Structure 1
């Protein structure tokens, strides 16, 4: 995502209709106007000329203020700078507002108000003293959200008042900015998931990514080819010189599966299990991208994020791909699906590689579907939400809690490294546990591994 820019807008302070200016009378101005009309009426009834003069003064003062403020042509420009434009949940962003007076007249007292969503806090208001011709004023405020998403900021509203406080006019700038709140990303330990088993797992893919393998299909000899790469057996078969192809580095493949089914996650809010799963998927994707993996982010609907190819192809670097994925995860919501079969079908086309899944509550049917996903992957790690623990201590001894343990056992028998996720669990601890040789036994023994005190 590009860095936060500066959006400018201009507002002519006195180009509205006179009726709109009259509607801008403050409580003081309306009181003066009402008192003046009442005094003029009383002077007519009582025949007091002095009271009529007082009534005319009280009536004309707010009207003159309205006309002067309406006719005064203040030209003010406003700009907003958002730093940074993308922040993780619970982190702060700084919003800087700048007002420039580009007219030849000194402005009156200004009040700035920026529109922000309720999730970011109350609307910030600032009172700015008179701005001289060519002068500027700068103010700033901070916003923070515990919920991921895209939040619009603006438009900026500018309120002008006369020196007596009789009239107040509001002008709005047209420029807006967007604050993107992405899921929290935890730093994961650099461990090898799945151990060092030959033929599968992280270790084998990493070695391929670093060293590569010769293409077994030879090609015809070309002028300048190194004779040491001549493939003599193919040369004898074809009757001409054949050489081995140059090494073709193979990038390690990984799929991060995020279960977004609404029926699989209880509760809502920053501490809900679905938010933990989204944050976990973001952390795993960023971590694996930094380690050189080609990461595909897949959901239960079978669609890849952020686009059809999941990462924008090889046209983006790891940092850009991570940014695209985080932006997509900032807006992801529960799906209407009830099964994981679309994700299983999508995995059929991804080939073998590391598979990391963040799953909600599983029934027997969906457990069988997840178990079949393991056949398409060399190493598979699943972080399964422990619905009984999230529901409360009373639900841990129920049939639902015992059924969750049985489903984890089914996944482990299918070759998964399946770990339950309890409230307060820390993904770095679970990640390290998944990479340990006794990770399965440890996961079965302690479903709250990595929980914070």
Structure 2
């Protein structure tokens, strides 16, 4: 399988199999040399080595010293070639780019390779790009390509192929490998020409239809507060100017009234806030024993993959869809887990400068990136009350305005766990609860306890449509 050496619409596509249904049989080695792991010498090299061994045998048998010298030369030459090849360096420079820079799960992304060589014309060499196991064997490239460009002493070849990741995560693409040999064709070794590149596969975001917000009796997007909040409105307090304060913070009306420079000291709550809390505990989303759920592996680049499940994937899908919808209606979005930690701090895919709350035109993309590598974690032991205190303090710090909202996305929830959430959150905050389970009817008692506290609550299954769920939550009074 060789992808095109120039960009085109019919480049080869490598699809990833779903982790929970992918089974791959290793192909048996084709030759005896591969089965015995003797690949550091070529067939010619092993032939020369065998000839040396035979010459050595006859030298001892016949007692001829000149035959002994010939046998040593035949034995040591291929071994010396393999030793020198082991410490050789590649003269190829590889640049790997992705278009788009971040993929979306179950969507195609183009991988483009630029392989350059400086100096004399490079000999023909066969390369292969390394892909994660679920994609199968990577593309085979022949360098230089028939469309190689030459600029002075440098030659470049372009190659392109497509990937379609089935799940979210951070995929290691590469390194580009080559079978490097010596000039006499006696030794060979697989060599990594470059380092792996990280391809972030984002979860898909579903756009929700306009509907009444759960717990609201007004129209869509109407905040519960009477005042209209805009990105330029602040809870403003003023103080005297101090050396080092920026001129942009000078509050001119207060300065005119006081006759001295006054600066703004804002509470800076420009928009109402929605906190989306996602339960990441394994016990809530990965049932054990009879009816155990298949584990979905979420790649973490070169680190150990994290576990997920079908229900947890739906929970993240719901968190992203609801968060995106609320951000478009004027809310700033905080994504946290069941320990009160920001998703940006527990996800390997989060942007290095990721800020919360997620607001503005890029809020959806930033949330997708933050959720791309999130996996399940061990549950919080029930006896550790300090952990529940941390969750309560985290929520208290984030939910300060009357227009703020809390969305809890949980898994299997017992009555005791429901009471714990009721004691942590209280009844003063507008709360929406989604429990993602396999059998919704089993949580009737839990849902009733949430609704008695004035919360909007539904038990859902992964087969339900998020739009229908959101509309049903909006109709709850």
| TM-score band w.r.t. shorter chain | 0.5 to 0.7
- 3-state DSSP of counterpart to 1:254: strand
Instruction: Answer yes or no: is the 8 Å Cα contact 2:234–2:270 preserved in 1.
Output: no
Aligned to 1:354: 405
Distance 1:31 1:263, change over 3 A: same
Instruction: Answer yes or no: is the 8 Å Cα contact 2:112–2:160 preserved in 1.
Output: yes
In 2, the alpha carbon distance for the partners of 1:341 and 1:259 equals 13
- 3-state DSSP of counterpart to 2:224: helix
Q: 1:152 deviation in Å?
A: 2.6
Aligned to 2:388: 341
In 1, the alpha carbon distance for the partners of 2:80 and 2:231 equals 83
Aligned to 1:234: none
Q: Deviations over 1:76-135 (max 9, x none)?
A: 22211122332233333222222112112x322212233333245434432335778632
Q: Which aligned pairs between 1:45-444 and structure 2 lie closer than 5 A?
A: 75-104=91-120, 106-129=121-144, 134-161=154-181, 166-194=186-214, 196-197=216-217, 202-204=222-224, 208-210=228-230, 250-266=270-286, 267=293, 268-269=295-296, 272-307=310-345, 312-313=355-356, 318-336=360-378, 337-338=380-381, 341-342=388-389, 343-349=391-397, 350-351=399-400, 352=402, 353-372=404-423, 373=425, 375-378=427-430, 380-388=431-439, 401-402=441-442, 404-435=443-474, 437=475, 439=476
Q: 1:288 deviation in Å?
A: 2.0
Instruction: Answer yes or no: is the 8 Å Cα contact 1:95–1:142 preserved in 2.
Output: yes
Aligned-residue Cα RMSD (Å) equals: 4.7
Instruction: Answer yes or no: is the 8 Å Cα contact 2:130–2:174 preserved in 1.
Output: yes
Aligned to 1:49: none
In 1, the alpha carbon distance for the partners of 2:118 and 2:426 equals 66
Q: What are the ranges of 5 or more consecutive residues in structure 1 without an aligned counterpart?
A: 1-21, 47-54, 231-247, 390-400, 441-453
Q: 1:213 deviation in Å?
A: 8.3
Instruction: Answer yes or no: is the 8 Å Cα contact 1:81–1:95 preserved in 2.
Output: yes
Q: Give the TM-score taking structure 1 as reference length.
A: 0.67
Distance 1:112 1:202, change over 3 A: farther
Q: How many residues align?
A: 375
Aligned to 1:51: none
Q: 1:359 deviation in Å?
A: 0.9
- After superposing the two structures, state which structure 1 stretch, 144-153 or 412-421, moved more: 144-153
Q: Deviations over 1:174-217 (max 9, x none)?
A: 44321122322211123231365369984435962359989799
Distance 1:117 1:128, change over 3 A: same
Q: 1:428 deviation in Å?
A: 2.0
Q: Deviations over 1:290-332 (max 9, x none)?
A: 3321111121102223259x97247x75355544433332232
Instruction: Answer yes or no: is the 8 Å Cα contact 2:212–2:219 preserved in 1.
Output: no
Q: Give the TM-score taking structure 2 as reference length.
A: 0.64
In 2, the alpha carbon distance for the partners of 1:108 and 1:405 equals 71
- 3-state DSSP of counterpart to 1:135: strand
Distance 1:275 1:208, change over 3 A: same
Q: 1:278 deviation in Å?
A: 1.7
In 2, the alpha carbon distance for the partners of 1:367 and 1:71 equals 62
- 3-state DSSP of counterpart to 2:370: helix
In 2, the alpha carbon distance for the partners of 1:202 and 1:153 equals 46
Q: Which has the higher contact order (CA 8 A, sep 6+)?
A: 2
In 1, the alpha carbon distance for the partners of 2:323 and 2:140 equals 40
- 3-state DSSP of counterpart to 1:273: helix
- 3-state DSSP of counterpart to 2:316: helix
Q: What are the ranges of 5 or more consecutive residues in structure 2 without an aligned counterpart?
A: 1-37, 63-70, 240-250, 258-267, 287-292, 297-307, 347-352
In 1, the alpha carbon distance for the partners of 2:309 and 2:377 equals 19
In 2, the alpha carbon distance for the partners of 1:422 and 1:434 equals 15
- 3-state DSSP of counterpart to 1:376: coil
- 3-state DSSP of counterpart to 2:154: coil
- 3-state DSSP of counterpart to 2:427: helix
